[in-house]
Amino acid sequence: MNTDKNDVIISVRGLSKHFAGGSIHALNGVDADIARGEVVVVIGPSGSGKSTFLRCLNLLEMPTEGKVIFEGTDITDASININLHRQKMGMVFQHFNLFPHMTVLDNMTLAPVKLLKRSKAEAEAKARSLLDRVGLGDRAGAYPNQLSGGQKQRVAIVSALCMEPDVMLFDEPTSALDPEMVGEVLEVMKDLARTGMTMVVVTHEMGFAREVGDRVMFMDGGRLIEQGTPQEIFSNPQNQRTRDFLSKIL
Amino acid sequence: MNKTRKTILTICISAVLIAAIAFLGYKLLFENADRMDVLTVYLVKQGSNSYTLSPDEVDLNDDGTLTVTDGKYLERLGGQKLEYTRSYVLDGAKTNYLTAYFDDRDGYYKLASVSTPNGFSVIKDAEDRDQNALTTQFDFVSRDTEGLTVSVYAYYATGELLLSEGYEQTRIIYPDDGTNKAKSLQSKAFEVLYKRESESVRYMLASPYEDAFICVEVSSSPFSEWKAGILEAYAASTGDEDALEKMDEAEFNALIDELEQTFQNRQMRAAFLAADKISPGKHLSGFVADFKLNFLDDSRWQYLLKGLGMTLLITLLSGLMGVVLGALVATVRTTWEKNKDNMHPGAGKTLLKLTDKLCGVYLTVIRGTPVMVQLLIMYLIIFAQSSDGTVAAVIAFGINSGAYVAEIIRGGIMSIDQGQFEAGRSLGFSYTKTMIYIILPQVLRDVLPALANEFIALLKETSVSGYVAVKDLNKGGEIIRSVTYSPFLPLIAVALIYLAVVMFFTKLVSILERRLRSSEHR
């Protein structure tokens, strides 16, 4: 457990998720804490439950059991309005999920205008400055299908940032990209990490994990097998399964 | 633009080809076929009072039937009741005549009721213009064209009854003491005239007392022919074989005037007026005459025009209803489908589940039964009290269309990538807002062409509205056919109008599709 950052933003207790009427256990009692400003990288083989874990954090998947406490609120409680909490949790998807019928600018301003009641101008100014930051200032009027994969993902990231979230969740953000575009997206994510954003990243990019991650979680079989600094996990893994996994991919 | 011009050209060429085929087909099939229209003449002799309703005087009920009930003569006599039952086949919206005759002095004949086993049963009480009126004639018009059977029950106290209802089946029941002039006169007249071919169906109940009643039915095309019919009848009754042989129309009318002097209470004029409405077309020939007969005479084209208006109205209203209903059902179904796994258990979830099940039943039932059956159920069972066919049709077609629209919209929503929902939800949009801002704009573009096609299909489906007494385009053609007995042109015209309207809407849909495609950004 990383202890140098004590301000816990997300706390997960006994998180389980069963699919197909209980026959598939994607998550089996996961406990984890994520501190404010921390970059947590979740790794593990396919089907290990790491994506499900991430999607349970903002309840895109409703956990079968367990609690997710976000900024002190148990968001699995039926009585809370999950939509308000999701506004504080940005999410980036493997397949970008931009809205194809809107321009880049409209994609970015939709949520701030409709949900945060920002003025159109204010939202656009923020969106444009974010686009400039990721080198896409000239693509504000483009439609998603006119962008490359890397550009789409950068737009998706800054779209999420437009809501000024407290935490960003990345669900394999580079897995659907051509290799030459992976770099530009990772660069944006590294910049984001440098600004102190709390990030939970599910990825297969070990280089990113090593370089940017404050903490690496290794999951397998729906359980959190091992976690520690990148140094600890990559250089000296304690668990046999971690060692097997790393030996296969490194 | 070039493409548009090409399409217009194609449509024009198709229209010309269809018209040419129609014309040739008409030539082959109908040009030389005998087609007779019917002229009905009543001559009622002095010595009895009679009254014949002219078509103008006929008071139609909404559903096209007339009402006759009158038992007062029967009651007054405490009379014996004779039940006379016959079956008739009524033709279309054509006016059918039923004549009852009764005589205060010698006997009482009264038509008590005319009814049909299926639905149309009401017959108008003939106007008793004069308390001493002795003859009453009833006209009735059948509501539907084919195969309706009418039973006539005639009650009378004394005397005898004459009943005729056509050619081969003519029955004349003579009075016991009726071996008189009237008998011979009538039988002769019938003999002559019934040789003629005609599609007329005429119903008559009359007393054949001496000098009381002559009924002549003449079928003919040109004036000369029906004149011949009158001539024969006249000759038969007067014994003068040649008197009318070379009459022209003016002279004939003069004769009619003369006859008026002789037969004080006659009904000829009304009958001839009716004939005038039919006969002018007879002077023309072939296609032109048929066209004139079917569309121009009596402004019959208005049946088609008004019918088209009704068809479009029903389609539009039921289409709108279908879209609203379909959108609601699709929303319920997709909401349940997408959220059932992530919903917290509770009243809301139970309610949504029940609503979803209900929608499922609705879709199964509506898509599993013919629209025609649904229409009849709506009209005859659910709207049995009001019998407003238009409302019943709009609602029946609306409910039917709603089921198909629901599946189109549901398909559209389900075909949107799940990632779009997730993206919306992860930004903090509620399910409803995700739908409104993100999903539906995309769905709308996807399903608009399919919805438009459903609308076109609906337009054609409404052609069965005639079954619930709605005068739509198809029914308009049917009305014309039943009056003119000329099926070809009205049917072709109805088909062409449907085709033109459908092609027009299809064209609109394809323009719409092109617009949508060019604005697509995927």
Give contacts of B441 with chain A, Cβ < 8 Å. Answer: 101
**Under 8 Å between Cβ of B447 and B455:** no
Helix (H) or strand (E) holding A247: helix A240-249
In the predicted structure, residue A54 carries a pLDDT above the cut 70: yes
Spatial separation of the C-alpha atoms in residues B31 and B286, rounded to whole Å? 5
pLDDT of B117 strictly over 70: no
Within 8 A of B427 by CB-CB distance, chain A residues are: 86-87, 110-111, 115, 159-160, 163
Residue A158 in contact with residue A127, Cβ under 8 Å?
yes
A150's tokens: 């890397």
Amino acid at position B431, single letter: Y
Amino acid in position B81 = K
Contact B428 A111 (CB under 8 A): yes
Determine contact, residues B133/B65, Cβ cutoff 8 Å. no
Q: From CA A5, how far away is CA A10, in angstroms rounded?
A: 12
| Contact assessment for residue B120 and residue B143, using Cβ atoms and an 8 Å cutoff | yes
Measured between beta carbons, the chain A residues lying within 8 angstroms of B432 are none
B442 vs A60, A61, A100: nearest CB: A100
**Is the torsion defined by CA of A208, A211, A215, A216 positive or negative?**
positive
For the segment B426-476, what is each residue's pLDDT rounded down to a tens digit?
A: 999 998 899 999 998 899 888 988 999 999 999 999 999 988 888 899 999
What is the per-residue pLDDT for B239? 58
Which pLDDT score is estimated for B1? 54
Half-sphere exposure of A87 (CA within 13 A, CB side): 14
Query: Residue A111 is nearest to which of B342, B420, B427, comparing CB atoms?
Result: B427
Nearest to A115 among B422, B429, B442 (CB): B429
> Do residues B100 and B44 touch, judged by C-beta distance below 8 A?
no
Q: What is the dihedral of CA B254, B256, B260, B266, to 10 degrees?
A: -160
Give B-chain residues touching A146 at CB under 8 angstroms.
521
pLDDT score for B258: 60
pLDDT, position B415: 92
Task: Check residue B521 and give its pLDDT.
Answer: 55
Q: Are A16 and A27 in contact (CB under 8 A)?
A: yes
Instruction: Check: CB of residue B73 under 8 Å from CB of residue B157.
Output: yes
Tokens of B14: 């198709």
CA-only gyration radius of chain A, Å = 18
For chain B, percent of residues with pLDDT exceeding 90:
27
Which has the closest alpha carbon to B314: B460, B451, B500, B494?
A: B460
Among chain A residues, the shortest Cα distance to B446 is held by A101
CB A57 within 8 A of CB A12: yes
Tokens linked to A77: 């409680």
Facing residue for B522 by CB, picked from A84, A100, A111: A100
**Confidence check: pLDDT of A152 > 90:** yes
Confidence of residue B127 (pLDDT cuts 50, 70, 90): very low
Q: Using alpha carbons only, how large is chain B's radius of gyration in Å? A: 31
pLDDT at B92: 33
Task: Please enumerate, as own/partner, the contacts of A42-46 that have beta carbons within 8 Å and a separation of 24 or more.
Answer: A42/A200, A42/A201, A42/A202, A42/A203, A42/A216, A42/A217, A42/A219, A43/A202, A43/A203, A43/A204, A43/A206, A43/A209, A43/A216, A43/A217, A43/A218, A43/A219, A43/A245, A44/A218, A44/A219, A44/A220, A44/A225, A44/A245, A45/A220, A45/A245
A34 φ/ψ angles, rounded to the nearest 5 degrees? -120, 125
pLDDT of residue B42 exceeding 50, the answer is: no
| Residue spans of beta strands (DSSP E) within B51-202 | 84-89, 95-101, 109-115, 135-141, 149-156, 162-164, 171-172
Residue type (1 letter), B35: R
Across B31-47, average pLDDT: 31
- Provide the H-helix boundaries in A45-178: 50-57, 82-86, 104-115, 120-133, 149-161
- Pairing relation of β-strands A198-202 and A39-43? parallel
* pLDDT of B230: 54
Rounded CA separation B193/B216 (Å): 7
Which of A78, A93, A101 lies closest to B422 in CB terms?
A93
pLDDT(B53) > 70: no
Weakest-pLDDT range from A60-69, B21-30, B336-345: B21-30
B55 Cβ contact list (under 8 Å, min separation 6) = B95, B139, B270, B274
Query: Between chains, do B342 and A86 touch, taking CB under 8 Å as contact?
Result: no
| Residue with the two structure tokens 């609906």 | B458
**Exposed/middle/buried for residue B344 (C-beta within 10 Å: 0-12, 13-18, 19+):** exposed
Q: Do A97 and B423 touch (CB under 8 A)?
A: yes
- Average confidence (pLDDT) over B183-197: 28
- Kindly state the tokens that stand for B359: 């929608």
What mean pLDDT do residues B188-212 have?
30
The answer to which of B18-32, B152-166, B342-356 has the lowest mean pLDDT is B152-166
CA torsion B232-B233-B239-B244 (nearest 10°) is -50
Average pLDDT on B168-172 reads 31
Q: Which of A97, A101, A144 sits opposite B422 (nearest CB)?
A: A97
Other Cβ atoms less than 10 A from the Cβ of B521: the count is 13
* N-terminal to C-terminal alpha carbon distance within chain A: 24
What is the nearest CA distance from B421 to chain A, expressed in angstroms?
A: 9
Mean pLDDT of chain B: 62
Q: Quick: pLDDT tens for B63-78.
A: 333 332 222 232 322 3
pLDDT value of residue A167: 95
| Phi and psi at residue B84, to the nearest 5° | -120, 115
**What residues in A contact B442, CB-CB < 8 Å?**
99-101
Could you tell me which chain A residue has the CA closest to the CA of B341? A62
pLDDT of residue B519: 66
Average pLDDT estimate for A179-201: 92
Report the C-alpha gap between B145 and B467 in whole angstroms. Answer: 11
CA A82 – CA B427 distance, rounded (Å): 11
Nearest Cα to B270, choosing from B69, B68, B142, B95?
B95
Residue A167 corresponds to which tokens in the numbers above? 């935490």
d(CA B383, CA B338): 38
Tell me: pLDDT of B290 over 50: yes
Convert B496-514 to b/e letters by CB count within 10 Å (16 or more is b): ebbeebebebeeebeeeee
Note the pTM of the prediction, 2 decimals.
0.60
CA A230, CA A224: separation in Å to the nearest integer?
15
Q: Which two tokens stand for residue B61?
A: 């009920």
Strand ranges, E, within B55-175: 84-89, 95-101, 109-115, 135-141, 149-156, 162-164, 171-172
Res B248: pLDDT:
65
A146 to chain B, closest Cα gap in Å: 8
* Residue B346 contacts A where some CB pair is shorter than 8 Å: yes
Q: pLDDT by residue (tens digit) across B220-270?
A: 223 334 445 555 555 555 555 565 555 666 776 676 666 544 433 322 222
Which residues from chain B sit within 8 angstroms of residue A20, using beta carbons? none
Instruction: Check whether B354 has a pLDDT greater than 80.
Output: yes
CB B232 within 8 A of CB B222: no
pLDDT at A11 over 90: yes
DSSP conformational letter for B103: B
Express each pLDDT in B473-487 by its tens digit.
999 998 888 777 778
CA distance A235 to chain B (A): 35
Q: Which residues of B touch A114 (CB under 8 A)?
A: 429, 433, 437
As a whole number of angstroms, the distance between CA B50 and CA B295 comes to 35
Query: Above 90 in pLDDT, residue B348?
Result: no
B152: its two tokens: 């006539």
